[in-house]
Amino acid sequence: MEHDHHHHEHGSELSDMQLRTRAIETILLEKGYIEQAAIDDLIETYEKKIGPRNGAQVVAKAWSDPNFRKWLFEDGTAAIGSLGFGGRSGNHLVALENTPTVHNMIVCTLCSCYPWAVLGLPPLWYKSAPYRSRTVADPRGVLADFGVSLPKDTEIRVWDSTAELRYMVVPMRPAGTEGWSEDKLAELVTRDSMVGTGFPKSPKDLT
Amino acid sequence: MDGIHDMGGMDGFGKVEAEQNEPPFHEKWEGRVMAMQRAMGYAGAWHIDHARYAQERIPPHIYLKASYYQKWALAMETNIVERGLAGADELKAGHALRPGKALPRKFTPDLAAKLTRGSFHRQQPAPARFKIGDRVRTRNMHPETHTRLPRYARDRVGIVEANQGCHMYPDSVASNLGDNPQWLYTIVFDGRELWGADSDPTLKVSIEAFEPYLEPV
Amino acid sequence: MSEHDHDHDHSELSETQLRVRALETILTEKGYVDPAALDAIVEAYETRIGPRNGAAVVARAWSDPAFKTALLADASKAVATLGHISRVGDHLIAVENTPKTHNMIVCTLCSCYPWEVLGLPPIWYKSAPYRSRAVKDPRGVLADFGVTLPQGTDIRIWDSTAETRFIVLPMRPAGTAGWSEEKLADLVTRDSMIGTGLPKQPGVK
């Protein structure tokens, strides 16, 4: 479309996109390419069922269970699949380990590739020009935009998801969480901490 | 800066569409913008490098949609404010609220009879590092500020075809670091060096490169 | 301009016109520019400085071998000897088309152009399609201009990334022996001096 004045309250602008979407959907349905129920189901799945809580479970288990942790880093697809996540999307999943010396960040400079199976749909900022352009060149500047700063000598590793491999970051376990259940640990794991633009919450954040 | 202006080799912009018998200006205001830019340059308000750098900093989505003279006008507003020639409040008010700064010169009507660009030659700082025929590699450099080494021609091997003398160095001038004169060379690349082994073998592309952009091979 | 990039014609132009008027008012009131001088600059580019200057240079080069040699050696100096052409600064370079090599000029980074001999650049020269494609797909660009080069012609693109400015010296059309410079100049199109066109042929409008 030539017009992109999304800042206007022209009812006609929103209607234009709605109309075009409706036209596409109608045609695909009438041609027999897609089924209404399947579309509705997909929407419901991503609105309600697949989201960062999945990834938080994976991280919590990695924090709690050394064998799972080892498996996760050796074969992310299989380990994550064992929890019932992944599969459909067909992507290979790779888990990245944050350590005191290495901090990981994921990006897709070319479009918006994201580990949907464990994090759900990506947020707007992840798909935006500022994030896509700056992360590979100035990750510390991007982290600053998120209010995050790392020690000067921490290595930052940026992973550009240019193929069908999808990445998730396994952040470091916060201090003061010894003996916590996986469910309670999962509550500390934020979406941003699994993308690399944030840290998990600390125990005091939960009180 | 690795900005939107650096378009050499980008895909997706479509056909080149030429207008027949195009007038110099499509609107009166365009002529005023062009004339103001020439007059302010002559007056010593800023160098062409400042004007270019300000344009490069226009946000990409505005840069791509703005017409040529709109970009010049936007850049002029930026330089006027950044260089303390007028305030943003005055631009908003549409007229001066305070007296102006003293500038070295003023473009008078009679000067329009001999509209030439000033010379960019400057005294040579040192002997030229490269001679005609030398193979050179352009640096893999990504300055955040103004440069005239396009991305498509970075980290590429070419031949020194000509020495254009010593010029003011845009990378320094635009950042207000002085003239910092540098030797300027015409560097010619085989098209395949730029666009890959499968590209047009009959193509050669040259750029005008300042000595700091180049390394010996 | 500004954050809105909608193209509602009337309000968009009005906003630009207002901002430009504000610029001129402020620069005048501050004593930086003289509106009469601005008028004179506009007039110079609307009436005097244009491709006719470059065409005269090309016609002279076609007619006078010594001038052509001088032009290719140092275009600034050579053109300066032609008192009737508008003055040029220090940095003009003429590049010669031959049966083996066709030249094209571009400024990928902005719009650098040999103003003094060609006047103000056309919109297409300053546009994203030309700036992006000329260095990578010049034959495609020539096709947009309806130009096909003979087989076996190499192409040389000159990206004007510094203050040196280029003008293409096209090949003299056949069948023009003995023509006056004035008549020859009529064959020299603006596009042929940028490299996106060829000179007119005798007898063709």
**How near does any CA of chain B get to the CA of A29, in Å?**
31
Q: Once rounded to an integer, what is the mean pLDDT over residues A149-166?
A: 92
Q: Once rounded to an integer, what is the mean pLDDT over residues A12-16?
A: 70
Residue with tokens 């464990």: A118
Active-site residues of A, by number, are 108, 111-113
**Residues of chain A with C-beta less than 8 angstroms from the C-beta of C4:** 5, 7
Q: Specify whether the CB–CB gap between B33 and C20 falls below 8 A.
A: yes
- Mean per-residue pLDDT of chain A: 90
More confident residue, C9 or A64: A64
C neighbour chains, 3+ CB pairs within 8 Å: A, B
Lowest mean pLDDT among A7-16, A29-38, A174-183, C30-39: A7-16
Helix (H) or strand (E) holding C155: strand C154-159
Cα-flanking dihedrals φ and ψ of residue C86, to 5°?
-65, 155
d(CA B82, CA B78): 6
**Residues of chain A with C-beta less than 8 angstroms from the C-beta of B60:** 129
d(CA C113, CA C122): 10
Tell me if C27 and B36 make a contact (CB, 8 A cut-off).
Answer: yes
Q: Specify whether the CB–CB gap between B57 and B74 falls below 8 A.
A: no
ipTM score assigned to the predicted complex = 0.92
Tell me if A2 and C5 make a contact (CB, 8 A cut-off).
Answer: no
CA of A146: how far to CAs of A107, A132, A133, A195, B113, in Å?
15, 15, 16, 12, 56
pLDDT value of residue C35? 97
Please state, for a pLDDT cut of 70, what percent of chain A lies above it. 91
pLDDT value of residue A91? 73
Count of other CB atoms within 10 angstroms of residue A119: 25
More confident residue, B113 or A204: A204
Is residue A68 over pLDDT 70? yes
Residue A146 has which token pair?
Answer: 């998120």
Pick the catalytic residue: C110, C127, C132, C180? C110
Q: Specify whether the CB–CB gap between A54 and A81 falls below 8 A.
A: no
- pLDDT tens digits, one per residue of B21-67: 888 999 999 999 999 999 999 999 999 999 999 999 999 999 999 99
Handedness of CA B53, B55, B58, B60 (dihedral sign): negative
B neighbour chains, 3+ CB pairs within 8 Å: A, C
Tell me if B32 and C22 make a contact (CB, 8 A cut-off).
Answer: no
Classify C105 as helix, strand or coil: strand
CB-defined contacts A:C, below 8 A: 10
- pLDDT tens digits, one per residue of B134-143: 999 999 999 9
Look at residues C96, C101, C87, C86 and name the one whose alpha carbon lies nearest to residue C167: C96
Across the interface, of C33, C46, C164, the residue whose CB is closest to B40 is: C33
CA of A104: how far to CAs of A196, B169, B195, in Å?
6, 39, 32
Tell me if A129 and B60 make a contact (CB, 8 A cut-off).
Answer: yes
pLDDT value of residue C6? 46
Tell me if A129 and B142 make a contact (CB, 8 A cut-off).
Answer: no
- pLDDT tens digits, one per residue of B58-108: 999 999 999 999 999 999 999 999 999 999 999 999 999 999 999 999 999
pTM of the model: 0.89
CB-defined contacts B:C, below 8 A: 286
Look at residues B148, B139, B121 and name the one whose alpha carbon lies nearest to residue B216: B139
- pLDDT tens digits, one per residue of A111-137: 999 999 999 999 999 999 999 999 999
